[in-house]
Amino acid sequence: MTRKTVGRSALQHVVSNNLLILVLYGALLVAFVGISIHSPSFCSTANLSTLARQAVIPGIIGIAQTIVIISGGIDFSVASLVTFISLLSAGLIDGKPERFVPVTVLILLIGLLVGLINGLIVKRGRVPPFITTLGTALILQGAALGYTTVPKGSIPPDMGDFFYYDSIGPIPNPVILLAAIFIFSCMLLHKTGFGRAIYAVGGNPEVAHRAGIKVGKTQISVYCLVSFLVAIAAVIATARMGIGDPLAGMGMELDSITVVVIGGTSLFGGRGNLFGTLAGVIILIFINNVMVITGVSVFYQQLIKGFVVLLVVALYKQRA
């Protein structure tokens, strides 16, 4: 295959992915207008503020999952890490404001450590990412439930309000944090050598190695970054609930993969972007909110989610 053919193929993938993202946001706009006409309460400031807050935690975890999938990996430990951190942080803080900062720093370091362990096992142990992170998930879930099987500890109300419920003007504080993480991650992927290495390793690690990219270092760094971002999301989740909850992370691993797939990121690595993932997050939050407003049973949530994923993947395949 000539360099010209490879370049044309890469350009076609970029164009098709951008078209998919435009279709996603266009569909969201149409759905937004439609539900607003059907139910004016949807556009209320209170509901839109709630929607924005609800998008923060899956948004941060979706960003993390997108980065690792672009690199050619996957992380099934994100939900268990959220649960473990929720229980541990709330238990250690136990309502005492002076403990919040040191415990939060400890929690973020634990996130980095989990990512480092995942990365080392994937690279040094040559264990597939699926098996590695699934094993880590089981260990974290076991450790969390060994610590407690019931809600534990508490977060000082002021800290909970600051990290989840307070706003700067009309913009909720956690939304500002999500925007900062999103911008940082976009810059990292598209404006740095590390970001280019992530795409290269995900596309073909052997070719990336021949090009002088340190594949192992890139993979380990990616897993560290992913778990660090998940730890941040876990802190926000704990602040929202005010306690440590054994069910805090339930289903987050599948939701994070769902938003990545909806956003058009290839599960085989090397292709994808965060704007598509953000659209995927908004779509899932929108579906959940519409079901509540229209009185649809929550038991249909997974069914609708599955249809949305199949529809978007089919659309993506047509354009690939």
Inform me whether the pLDDT recorded for 148 exceeds 80.
Answer: yes
**pLDDT score, position 22:** 81
Give me the mean pLDDT over the 146-156 stretch: 92
Mean pLDDT across the stretch 251-267? 89
Higher pLDDT, 272 or 311: 272
β-pair partners for 98: none
Q: Tell me: pLDDT of 269 over 70.
A: yes
Decide if 294 is inside a domain. no
Mean per-residue pLDDT, 271-276: 90
CA angle 181, 187, 191 (to 5 degrees): 165
Residue 145 covered by a domain: yes
Q: What is the reported pLDDT for 13?
A: 52
Is 198 among the domain residues?
Answer: yes
* pLDDT on residue 288: 80
pLDDT for 4: 46
Could you tell me if residue 316 is inside a domain? no
Strand locations in 72-208 (E): 167-168, 171-172
What pLDDT score does 170 carry? 87
Residues 68-113: pLDDT tens digits?
999 999 999 999 999 999 999 999 999 999 999 999 999 999 999 9
Q: Which domain does 99 fall in, by range? A: 55-249
pLDDT at 8: 46
20 within domain boundaries: no
Mean pLDDT score, 147-175: 91
pLDDT band with cut points at 50, 70 and 90 for residue 283: confident
**What's the confidence (pLDDT) of residue 2?**
46
Output 311 or 87, whichever has higher pLDDT. 87
Distance of alpha carbon 293 from alpha carbon 157, whole angstroms: 29
Residue 161 domain flag: yes
> What is the domain count for the chain?
1
DSSP states of 57-110: HHHHHHHHHHHHHHTT---S-HHHHHHHHHHHHHHHHTT-GGGHHHHHHHHHHH
Structural domain contains residue 293:
no
pLDDT at residue 42, as a whole number = 75
Is residue 46, in this structure, part of any structural domain at all? Answer: no
